[in-house]
Amino acid sequence: MTEHRIEHRRCACGQVTGASAPQGAGAPAQYGPGLKSLAVYLLTRQHLPYQRCGELLADVLGADVATATLLGWAGQAAEAVAPHTEAVRRQLTDCEVVGFDETGTRIAGRTCWVHTACTKSLTLYLLHAKRGMEAFEAMGVLPHFGGIAVHDGWKPYKTYAGAVHALCNAHHLCLTTKPVTGMLGRLLAHASRRTRRRL
């Protein structure tokens, strides 16, 4: 915690003159960039809920930060990285091969979808209420992509004809092992029934 003392003096003519506050310290009491950065890190990288983030800051640092303040800091951080996010979006659109995926998550009791577009060195996330086309359009990569789109084979991906579509290897393995494990399960069940009959 840093304390700044800003002197104010009245001269003989009655004029009050005061020093300027250092950049980022405009209010009488305010949190600094270190605490703001830590809070945004806990929210976005460690995925702490807002209430738990506030509790952690209070318990560990003695900083009683309101949820609305945390929301504001997260919004400021999003605005600050927006140019970089847009640059990643443009770079992904120009890549030769990009992996696409979506996974469901619960936020405040509602299902939302985390959409991903990534390469080995670039990753773009989008949290969206929808799983399909509306979210793809909002993310802005697949509609403008002309390379190889690697995904799970979900039908809405294939509506983007500008890309060449490829199934990811994890889904190839899933598709080839399901019939085998299903067949093995049936054989084991049959053998188990035959063994019980003999006993």
Domain ranges of the chain: 32-84, 94-167, 168-199
Quick: pLDDT tens for 131-145: 989 999 999 999 999
User: In angstroms, rounded to a whole number, what is the distance separating the alpha carbons of residues 162 and 89?
Assistant: 17
What is the C-alpha separation between 74 and 68, in angstroms, rounded?
10
DSSP summary character for residue 157: G
Neighbouring residues of 35: CB distance < 8 A, sequence distance ≥ 6? 57, 61, 63, 65
pLDDT tens, per residue, the chain with 199 residues = 556 677 778 888 888 887 777 776 665 557 889 999 999 999 999 989 999 999 999 999 999 999 999 999 999 999 999 999 999 999 999 999 999 999 999 888 999 999 999 999 999 999 999 998 999 999 999 999 999 999 998 899 999 999 999 988 776 666 666 665 666 666 667 677 777 676 6
CATH class of the structural domain 94-167: alpha beta
Backbone torsions φ then ψ of 176, nearest 5 degrees = -85, -30
| Model confidence, pTM | 0.67
Query: Which residues are within 8 A (CB) of 70 and not within 5 positions of it... i.e. 6 or more apart?
Result: 39, 43, 50, 53, 54
Q: How many CB atoms lie within 10 A of CB 181?
A: 9
